[in-house]
Amino acid sequence: MGSPKVVGSVKSVKGQIAEVQIESKGLPSLLEVLTCPKDPDVKLEVFYQSEDIASCLILSNPNNLYRGMLLAGSGSQFNILISPSILGRVINLFGEAQDGKQTLSANDPSSIYSKTPPLSTVKGTGEILETGIKAIDFLTPFLKGGRIGFIGGAGVGKTILMTELIHNITTRAGGKQGISVFAGVGERIREGQELYQRMVELKAMDKIVMVLGQMNENAAVRFRVALAAVTIAEYFRDKQKQDVLFFLDNMFRFVQAGNEVATLLSTIPSEQAYQATMQTEVSNLEDRLVSTENGSITSIQAVYVPSDEITDAGVNTIMSFLDSAVVLSRSIAQMGLYPPVDINQSSSSTLSKTLIGEDHFLVLTRFQELLERYSKLSHIVAIVGESELSAEDRILFTRVKKVINYLTQPFFVTETQTGRKGVYVPKGSTIPDITDILSGKLDNIPPEKFLYIGTVKDIK
């Protein structure tokens, strides 16, 4: 790292960028933090330098800076203080409490730019993580230690699905799932507040750390909050030897914050006006979310799709790192089917007999075959009606429709809005139910009876 003897002064401030005139012989290192000896709250991060001018990102309040302010190098990158005492707390990028409780006494400084663990220590679990959400457990099973994305446009339920997942895993695991780390990156302040209150009500907050850098923060802070949260997850994995659930809402806002920073620095944009460094920035974060011999990190990320355009370069970059992609469709949501999972676009790398079991694999394969035929028949039904189908096609169409309806589910986190009591459905019930529907054992029950139930036993 750079020498602490590096000294300079503020030359100019432009928005979130400060130019620093270096007045000592030694130059600061890239990513080194510069502070003011008279005001330790001032934090500038060296982004790049040219001869004796360093361009720095302002991580603290820019209103505290003035031309000529004396600065000194810290000799280190940006660190976040971590200890087991941060469990149950809401903090910001600087490790400061945001929940109105006593000041934190964390004392283990860790650089937010830690490297990916060596390949020799990375270890897969080969274990499926049950979520209690039928559509996910059946269509896109989650691998413990994997990277999962909830992908969709505005208002289709990404945050609700993520909150339901936190609820199901945290409240039903009995402490066996280890620690949860939630990173709020560039999202609404209200969402962070609601999630915190919900976890307190469920008495689940004592196993969760929330790190928030939401839409009111500047781009440099929002960009680094995700890295700080990953560092906390690594601490509990490596030093506490725990299994960690890592939630990031929203991964697209992380990319967007990086784009804002690149624009502020006047760098030349790349594809679709995204920063040229986007692939590197995303991989530097995603590659740290791995399981080692010490413990696992299972990451669940909400991914906003701008203008519902799933071919967006930023979305595609994120999706290339995911093991499971749960795509949420606006058209399905408009039909009143929740969660609005797009069965055709969602995917998972876990769909093999060895991972999900033979029974699950066979019924899922059978459903996917019938779904292709169902999609073609849907166009005919939309024009001439279901009664015009052949007897065989009508049976196929009805059975697939029943499965689609069966995969809807009342959520615990939306009980007050929908009036439906939330249900947790174990995978051991979901697979036999769908097998019975497709085999014709439930042909006497109309499709609408399968909407918003737990298991088939709930049908009266």
Q: List residues with catalytic annotation.
A: 158, 187-188
Write out the H or E segment, with its range, that includes residue 62.
Answer: none
Residue 80: φ, ψ to 5°: -115, 135
Contact 294, 241 (CB under 8 A): yes
Report d(CA 206, CA 212) in Å as an integer: 17
Contact 129, 114 (CB under 8 A): no
Across 128-146, b (16+ Cβ under 10 Å) vs e yields bbbbbbbbbbbbbbbbbbb
Q: Alpha-carbon torsion 196, 198, 201, 207, what sign?
A: negative
* Residue 31 falls in which region: left (phi positive, over 0), alpha (psi -120 to 50) or beta: left
- At position 238, the amino acid (one-letter code) is D
The vertex-372 CA angle with 368 and 378, nearest 5°, equals 130
For the chain, the residue count is 460
Tokens of 77: 């990158």
- At position 389, the amino acid (one-letter code) is L
Contact 338, 423 (CB under 8 A): no
Nearest to 301 by CA among 190, 219, 187, 203: 187
Helix, coil or strand: residue 300:
strand
Nearest to 318 by CA among 341, 301, 306: 301
